[in-house]
Amino acid sequence: MDNPKHGARRGRYRRRWIATGLLVGVTAVVAPGLVFAQEGSPLAGVTAVVAPGLVSAQEDSPSTTVDGGADNQQTSVRGGTALDDNGSSADGTSVQQQGPVASAQTQTAGAGSYKWKNAQVVGGGYVTGLVFNQKEEGLLYARTDMGGAYRWNATAERWTPLTDWVGEKDWNLLGIDAVATDPVDPNRLYLMAGTYTNDWAGNGAILRSTDRGRTFKRTNLPFKVGGNEDGRGAGERLVIDPANHGNLLLGSRKNGLWRSTDYGVRWSQVSSFPVKDGASSGGGISFVTYGPSGSRTIYVGVGDSSTSLYRSTDGGSTWQAVPGQPTGQMPQHGVLSGDGSLYLTYTNALGPNGVTGGSVWKYTPASGVWKNISPSQGSYGFSGLAVDPREPSTVMVTTLDRWWPEDEIYRTTDGGATWTALADKSVRSASAAPYVGTHTGHWMTALAIDPFNSGHVLYGTGNGIWRSKDANASDSGSTSHWSSGARGLEETSLLDAIAPPGGATVITSMGDQGGFRHGSLTKVPSGRLANPMMTNSTDIDFAQSKPSMMVRVGRGGDQDGAYSTDGGSTWTGFKAEPVAGANDGRVALAADGSTIVWTEAGQAPYRSTDNGASWSRVSGLGTDAVVVADRSSANTFYSLTGGTLYASTDGGATFTARAGNLPSGRLTAVPGIAGDLWIAGSDKGLLHSTDGGRTFTTLGSVQSASALGFGKAAPGTTYQALYLIGTVKDVTGVFRSTDGGATWLRINDRAHQWGAIGSVGVITGDPDTYGRVYIGTNGRGLQYGDPS
């Protein structure tokens, strides 16, 4: 895979994108110039609250204990009901509507039932952890930095998503910082959920399940969790005591070590643990590891370059720094071998970026001896670490940020005395996810060996998972074989999507991946949108009367904009750009493809009539004004800016005001009808104009509107079907209307909410298939639904 460059290094600098206007209480929407912030940005005013139907936990004391209450005081939420390619539940469970169908009219039973699936990409995001259950064969979990958690279906060899039930108000819970699967009772699963530790993010939570993630109960934590922050590839931070599986330990990023003695319902801070803040790195605790059952020994790794490993031999009552430990680096993972040895990987930065040094160490507690067993040395670190439970001297590690020639996987069968590098001794097939290519990958921090099959090994990357069934072949000098192991795991972040009539089913703009052309929704595209191949594509549009013509903009490629004349199969970069050094932004294409209007981020709109060879500034609009093309009249464009609707009738050259006192919101134009406009106006509801924006009518049927899309009209009707992300009759969800917005039918359910879809604001119906709708998510890819 030819990844865009980051400096002189191979690989992408992964940024995860979130919208700056998240829903609180009733649906709220960002103004048309939807701004996305990189991780760590101070998004003021964003609040996380408890999802509908959940009871939040109460703290028993000001800062030390949080109580989830009795199980019967909390409403279970359903997970793990994703549909497979045949529309049935991947794990055999029934898929049921979890919430009431909301409509302004009485609906017949089951009228709103939809089947939901992912448009196939396979992977696309950073898999930060892989955890096998040690008791039951085939039971395996994956965690991601912002796309939730998954359970492996060993029979189907695909992943089942477990957290799609997380709604808009609880978007922050889709970052999973740790996973724990019970070694005594395999039905018990715990997720440490929370995406950011910034002031604007809500506190984290422990999601606990007694049915392997099909349903969860929740304990709110009195501190924040950073599943999408630096150090997220370390761990695991949440572990279960094998000697008493009701006891759990949790290592936080900024609030020390915490303990539960009642299966994760209540938590209290371990006051004797010496590190109660973020340590010198700000990353806090990186892993917690229990010693052999019955030993009462616990090891805790900390993101500190001077004292990074602590041990307790009395079950956590007292702690001491382990003598003789290495300094100058910080531990990523620590795994205890069956022979009592503790293996650790180290980096000189939290990672996954910025690592320029590292090592691998072996500690023998019986003798107190430390030994540097690093398989190689260079300007990179080591992160992924796995010890074979069946062969205690067999260990595997991965490099981190070894940008040239590529990251490496090392394997030893003699406890680190000698190592074998696997990259050149393996055959790789990327047929299941062609865009990934056949390199080993980047951000290889998650690594796991199957406790029941020594040859079965998986590791995570920034683009999904690689999997081998014969990883031990190198032990005898043979070749191991690897293939994509991410089927069912979709973690892309959508920024826009179009469904042109008669052509490709859907084409996307994405963070990190740039975007894909989906000729089929059930087949993986052959590659990302190329020439240029953008790291982030922020917007895409097509010409309504000439849908083979389309444009997209973004950044991270040789050019920041491109056009296609063959429906997105091939692309040509713009020869020029409106403003030197600017990029991203929003783009509109005239109904006949004759004019492009591009508003680069932080700039005024510019127009081009020669496919981006030259540009002239638009008159009448200011900075960051988002322009929308009329979907019928080629010379007409609109812009909703500062509560005023502006229009142009000269191909976007000049704009004049037509209507004022309008809400901020997302402006869209109906295909095939000149002057037919809609505004999704947040808590101001849904507004409609049939006269080119001169007048608007507010629909009484919608309380709030985040985004609106259009699709093929229902049989027997002529007006486009409407698809809404918003609130109707006090229910927030996804709705369909076949009568111009007079009545609405809810088509998603409580099992399918996908976090911050309203803030992402990507929704469009299919112009060729009535009832089909596409919804963009921030970490769960492009969802599409069909009436069941």
Examine residue 405 and say whether the peptide bond preceding it is cis (omega within 30 degrees of 0).
Answer: yes
Residues found in the chain: 788
Q: Which helix (H) or strand (E) holds 760?
A: helix 757-760
CA 175/CA 165 separation, integer angstroms: 14
Would you list the DSSP string of 44-62?
Answer: TT----PPTT----EESSS
Chain centroid to CA 397: 25
Helix (H, G, I), strand (E, B) or coil at 434: helix
CA 97/CA 750 separation, integer angstroms: 7
CA dist list (Å): 160 to 80, 89, 205, 491, 755? 6, 9, 21, 13, 17
CA 526/CA 524 separation, integer angstroms: 6
Q: What are phi and psi of 172, to 5 degrees?
A: -65, -20
CA 278/CA 751 separation, integer angstroms: 35
What angle (nearest 5°) sits at the alpha carbon of residue 578, between those of residues 574 and 583? 75
Spatial neighbors of 123 by CB under 8 A, at least 6 apart, are: 433, 436, 461, 463, 464, 465, 484, 486, 489, 490, 491
Examine residue 352 and say whether the peptide bond preceding it is cis (omega within 30 degrees of 0).
Answer: yes
Q: HSE on the CB side for 702, CA within 13 Å?
A: 37
First to last CA, the chain: 38
| Cβ pair 679, 662 in contact under 8 A | yes
Q: What are phi and psi of 190, to 5 degrees?
A: -130, 135
CA 502/CA 601 separation, integer angstroms: 32
Q: Which helix (H) or strand (E) holds 66?
A: strand 65-67
Active-site option among 145, 164, 676, 683: 145
Q: Is 650 marked active-site?
A: no
Active-site option among 241, 401, 512, 676: 512
CA 733/CA 173 separation, integer angstroms: 18
Helix (H, G, I), strand (E, B) or coil at 128: strand
Q: Is 624 marked active-site?
A: no
| Cβ pair 226, 173 in contact under 8 A | no
Q: HSE on the CB side for 299, CA within 13 Å?
A: 28
Instruction: Report the amino acid identity of residue 471.
Output: A
Q: Tell me which residue has tokens 């004022």.
A: 660
CA 480/CA 410 separation, integer angstroms: 13
CA 237/CA 331 separation, integer angstroms: 12
Residues with a known catalytic role: 145, 512
